[in-house]
């Protein structure tokens, strides 16, 4: 079996459904090897951000060492102003060492105030549109932890992609993901295996003999079983995680509804 591809909404870009979230990857002695193994094993979508310390530098180093960018790169800005977001894009381009970034996102627009600022005249969205017009970025996306704002972003028609949390720990984002798919907005799933605290707890339980269904592999299967998702971006600091996640994504059967409900119930009991 092989990794499967999906469309990133209506962007015209197709990516392998398993990507890499490079937020924590730099905080590892095996950072470069982790990104290299992701690319070697076929992952072709990597998410970074100005706000992820060392992450754009790490990807820039990998791009240089490989002699060019061979993956779809997505970065983000915390800025809410047009000037600030353009400055951030210039910085991303120079740190990554590329002339063009495929997807640039407004980062963590999770309050009404953040939304109002970023969407106002002279706000960050205006800056991203200017950069797009100048040919510096391909598509504009948004990330949020607020599902009502995710819905508003999708309905606004301004964004090519939306990044939301989704997993058996957080199934409530499913309707928003469905809406995005209906509207041709690409869906990037952050925290697909539940985040570092929970995965560490899960790994500890498994080492102590737990044999139930709540495993990182099944959590990944849960997200990939949703056809409305474009790409899931589990974080990783070690090549071993990449190898395991690629093995899962290369050969899985989609979860049916009862299996999904069982995993959600098991996830809710993690800390009992």
Ligand X SMILES: NC(=O)c1ccc[n+]([C@@H]2O[C@H](COP(=O)([O-])OP(=O)(O)OC[C@H]3O[C@@H](n4cnc5c(N)ncnc54)[C@H](OP(=O)(O)O)[C@@H]3O)[C@@H](O)[C@H]2O)c1
The residues of the shown chain that bind ligand X, judged by CB under 6 A, are 21-24, 47, 107-108, 143, 163, 190-196, 199, 203, 216, 233-238, 241, 244-245
Nearer of residues 138 and 234 to ligand X, judged by Cβ: 234
Would you say 67 or 253 has its CB closer to ligand X? 253
Q: How far is the CB of 175 from ligand X (least distance, A)?
A: 20
Q: Which is nearer to ligand X, 122 or 174 (CB)?
A: 174
**Residue 135 Cβ vs ligand X, minimum distance, rounded to whole Å:** 25
The smaller minimum CB distance to ligand X, of residues 73 and 119, is found at: 73
Q: What is the CA radius of gyration of the chain?
A: 18
Residues in the chain: 272
Q: Which of 201, 250, 186, 197 is nearest to 221 (CA)?
A: 250
Residue 95 or 133 with smaller CB distance to ligand X: 95
Minimum distance between the CB of residue 144 and ligand X, rounded to whole angstroms? 8
CB 260 within 8 A of CB 232: no
The residues with which 232 forms a beta bridge, in sequence order, are: 18, 189
For residue 251, count CB atoms less than 10 angstroms from its CB and return exposed for 0-12, middle for 13-18, buried for 19 or more: exposed
Q: Residue 188 in contact with residue 162, Cβ under 8 Å?
A: yes
- Largest Cα–Cα distance in the chain? 56
Rounded to whole angstroms, how far apart are CA atoms 176 and 146? 10
Q: Which is nearer to ligand X, 38 or 135 (CB)?
A: 38
- Would you tell me the crossing angle of helices 112-119 and 124-133 to the nearest 10 degrees? 40
């Amino acid at each position: 079996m092989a990794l499967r591809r999906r469309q990133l909404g209506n962007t015209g870009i197709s990516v392998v459904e398993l990507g890499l979230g490079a937020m924590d990857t730099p905080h590892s002695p095996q950072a470069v090897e982790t990104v290299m193994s992701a690319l070697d094993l076929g992952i072709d979508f990597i998410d970074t951000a100005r706000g992820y310390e060392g992450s754009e530098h790490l990807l820039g180093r990998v791009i240089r060492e490989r002699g060019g960018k061979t993956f779809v790169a997505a970065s983000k800005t915390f800025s809410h102003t047009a000037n600030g977001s353009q400055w951030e894009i210039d910085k991303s381009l120079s740190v990554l060492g590329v002339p063009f970034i495929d997807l640039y996102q407004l980062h963590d627009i999770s309050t009404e105030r953040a939304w109002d600022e970023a969407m106002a005249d002279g706000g960050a969205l205006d800056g991203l549109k200017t950069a797009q017009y100048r040919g510096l970025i391909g598509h504009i996306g948004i990330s949020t932890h607020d599902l009502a704002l995710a819905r508003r972003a999708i309905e606004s028609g301004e964004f090519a992609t939306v990044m939301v949390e989704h997993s058996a720990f957080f199934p409530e984002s499913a309707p928003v993901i469905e809406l995005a798919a209906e509207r041709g907005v690409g869906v990037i799933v952050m925290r697909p295996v539940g985040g570092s605290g929970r995965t560490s707890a899960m790994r500890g339980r498994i080492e102590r003999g737990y044999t139930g269904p709540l495993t990182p592999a099944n959590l990944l299967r849960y997200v990939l079983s949703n056809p409305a998702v474009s790409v899931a971006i589990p974080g990783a600091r070690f090549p071993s995680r990449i190898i395991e996640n690629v093995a899962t994504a290369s050969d899985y059967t989609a979860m049916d509804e009862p299996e999904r409900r069982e995993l959600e119930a098991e996830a809710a009991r993690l800390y009992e």
